């Protein structure tokens, strides 16, 4: 069976959606002997790339990206798409991916007798792209009408979506997973003889809310490690300098897998302070939970509070609120019993998101 994955970008080192697709592809290949994948995406660079890995049954094709708008690729020409649809048994599209969605509409006839799967990762009405919703949703409905299966990654994502409600019979819930190499499966002990080490991992974009986390630690006896790159990098460094807490905050850019794993091992508490539903799930929460880290996250209408549960594996606070973040951090770092309970529960919670469970679910959809 041949499956083509359509995703905005594909470079697993970049994190986010790219890591999600990597986990699906590698996981399904591990549990199935007769499914081969092609991943079709834009390239981060302005050149065409094709690589074939026959041993791992994976082909990667990255088209030239002529221009960008707010980090979105502006590309309405996907010359390989028609042939990929013809050559594959399953077309698996990762929404949102606006330029690909417009292009797919041109090839609806070519998708006759093909299985069409959509994984719905985010509701754009709560993102910076909400202004296109009225124009865009009628186009997306044509793809949803054609889809055989629509996958959501959390119950909250479906509940918060108005467009998905009429497709309830097509909806399946398959939570995301994480690369098991980022798992230590050891609960954390309360660090009573040193200050707490907090960790944030992710792209440094406005919706991540890292500025609120930085402001939250001003009066706390903690260290904060920020791992990631993005357009907010220098803005956040300037904020740290302005608040005179350079002795508390360390920035790490371009961390490789080994360095990232070391960050998880050394950390005591993970914080994901995202401020809107552009943060649709937060796979980094899973990596943190798998290392026994309690998690502080935000109460968004997305999968974020579904991953780490309030008062079970950590604390959920309202977004854009440094005071509440600070209170949550203080509550955890001042209570040994609570901290170690959350750490133990973190390892239990992450079992619900194993790669094996996710991969088996996708394999059954592809083959049904």
Contacts of 264 (CB under 8 A, 6+ apart): 182, 184, 199, 287, 288, 291, 293
Residues of the chain below pLDDT 70: 12-15, 68-73, 126-130
Indicate the pairing of strand 58-63 with strand 49-53: antiparallel
User: And the tokens for 74?
Assistant: 């502006």
The helix (H) or strand (E) run that includes residue 104 is helix 98-105
* CA neighbor of 211 nearest in space, from 268, 255, 263, 274: 274
pLDDT in tens, 141-175: 999 999 999 999 999 999 999 899 999 999 999 99
What confidence score (pLDDT) does residue 184 get?
Answer: 82
Dihedral sign of CA atoms 281, 284, 310, 204 in order: negative
Chain position carrying tokens 């992710």: 202
User: And the tokens for 294?
Assistant: 């309690």
What confidence score (pLDDT) does residue 129 get?
Answer: 66
What confidence score (pLDDT) does residue 20 get?
Answer: 87
User: And the tokens for 248?
Assistant: 């508390």
What confidence score (pLDDT) does residue 72 get?
Answer: 67
CB 28 within 8 A of CB 37: yes
What confidence score (pLDDT) does residue 53 get?
Answer: 82
pTM more than 0.85: yes
CB 314 within 8 A of CB 342: yes
**CA 252/CA 338 separation, integer angstroms:** 29
């Amino acid at each position: 069976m041949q499956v083509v994955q359509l995703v905005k970008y594909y470079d697993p080192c970049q994190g986010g959606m790219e890591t999600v697709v990597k986990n699906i592809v590698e996981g399904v290949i591990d549990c199935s002997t007769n499914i081969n994948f092609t991943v079709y995406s834009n390239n981060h660079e302005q050149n065409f790339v094709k690589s074939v890995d026959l041993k791992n049954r994976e082909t990667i094709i990255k088209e030239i990206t002529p221009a960008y708008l707010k980090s979105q690729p502006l590309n309405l020409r996907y010359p390989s798409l028609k042939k990929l649809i013809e050559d594959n048994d399953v077309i698996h599209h990762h929404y949102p991916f606006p330029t690909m969605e417009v292009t797919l509409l041109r090839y609806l006839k070519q998708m006759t007798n093909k299985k069409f799967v959509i994984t719905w990762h985010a509701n754009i009405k709560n993102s910076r792209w909400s202004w296109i919703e009225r124009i865009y949703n009628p186009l997306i409905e044509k793809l949803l009408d054609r889809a055989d299966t629509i996958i959501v990654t959390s119950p909250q994502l479906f509940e918060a979506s108005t467009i998905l409600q009429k497709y309830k019979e097509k909806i399946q819930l398959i939570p995301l997973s994480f690369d098991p190499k980022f798992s230590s499966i050891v609960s954390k002990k309360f660090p009573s003889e040193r200050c707490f080490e907090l960790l944030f991992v992710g792209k440094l974009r406005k919706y991540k809310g890292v500025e609120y986390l930085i402001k939250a630690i001003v009066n706390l006896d903690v260290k904060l490690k920020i791992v990631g790159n993005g357009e907010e990098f220098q803005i956040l460094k300037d904020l740290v300098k302005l608040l005179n807490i350079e002795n508390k905050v360390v920035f790490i850019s371009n961390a490789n897998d080994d360095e990232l794993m070391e960050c998880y091992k050394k950390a005591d508490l993970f914080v994901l302070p995202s401020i809107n539903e552009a943060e649709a799930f937060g796979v980094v929460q899973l990596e943190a939970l798998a290392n026994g880290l309690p998690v502080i996250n935000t109460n968004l209408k997305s999968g974020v509070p579904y991953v780490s549960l309030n008062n079970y594996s950590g604390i959920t606070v309202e977004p854009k609120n440094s005071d509440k973040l600070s209170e949550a951090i203080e509550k955890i770092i001042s209570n040994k019993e609570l901290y170690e309970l959350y750490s133990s529960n973190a390892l239990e919670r992450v079992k619900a998101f194993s790669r094996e469970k996710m991969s088996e679910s996708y394999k059954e959809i592809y083959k049904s």
